[in-house]
Structures are given as C-alpha cells and as structure tokens.
C-alpha cells in the first residue's frame, strides 16, 4: 500500500470491506519498516504522502485488526495482518495473536 496515496488506500479498504462476506477476513503482508526507511530519501511531498498512508493504515489496523504475526524469517521481515470489518475487533480485546504495531 506504500505505493499509493492515502485516498486510494482508503478506497481499497472500503472495497475489501464491501466484498468480504460477513465474518470474512482480509489478510495481507506488510513489510516491516518500509515507510520509515523511505523517509530520509524522499522529498517533502513523498514524506507527507507516506505519513498520510501510514496514519490511515494504523487507524484501520486499530479498528479492524484481530490478528497479527511478525514473520521475521521472510525477507524482508513482514507482518501478516488479518482484519475483519464486521464488528471492529481491533480494539475490543478479541485479538488472538501477538499485537503488531
């Protein structure tokens, strides 16, 4: 999602939420530290875009993520994130795996 602007990322999440059946899970990999690593090499507009995307993704994770696992054996290391859009299990204590941030 780091290659898109925040509006497009939001539209992706909204589309996934509409397409999933009730109880369905959106699962995806997020490489650890990519946005942070890009910051020193990016111009101001790109840093602003990365911050907006990061803020949006974090909001979605807080609201809908119910499971996350660090996959350190992947190259580069990644998070396997799992979100459910019906019920907002991100902040209500129903997480079943380690909490990734």
Q: Can you give the pLDDT at residue 47?
A: 95
Entry pTM: 0.81
pLDDT digits (tens, 9 = 90+) for 34-84: 999 999 999 999 999 999 999 999 999 999 999 999 999 999 999 999 999
**Between residues 8 and 95, which one has the greater pLDDT?**
8
φ, ψ dihedrals at 71, nearest 5°: -115, 85
**Cα separations (Å) of 45 from 2, 42, 52, 55, 83?**
14, 8, 11, 15, 29
Task: Say how many domains are in the chain.
Answer: 1
41 belongs to a structural domain = yes
pLDDT of residue 89: 53
In a domain, 43, yes or no: yes
> How many angstroms separate the CA atoms of 65 and 98, rounded?
11
| DSSP annotation of 94 | -
Domain that holds residue 75: 6-83
Task: Flag whether 38 is in a domain.
Answer: yes
64 Cα distance to chain centroid: 10
């Amino acid at each position: 999602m780091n290659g898109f602007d925040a509006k497009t990322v939001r539209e992706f999440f909204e589309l996934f939420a509409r397409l999933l059946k009730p109880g369905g899970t959106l699962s995806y990999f997020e490489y650890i530290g990519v946005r942070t690593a890009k910051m020193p090499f990016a111009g101001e507009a790109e840093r602003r875009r990365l911050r907006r995307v990061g803020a949006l993704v974090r909001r979605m994770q807080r609201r809908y993520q119910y499971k996350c696992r660090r996959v350190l054996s992947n190259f580069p290391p990644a998070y396997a994130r799992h979100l459910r859009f019906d019920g907002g299990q991100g902040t209500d204590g129903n997480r079943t795996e380690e909490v990734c941030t």
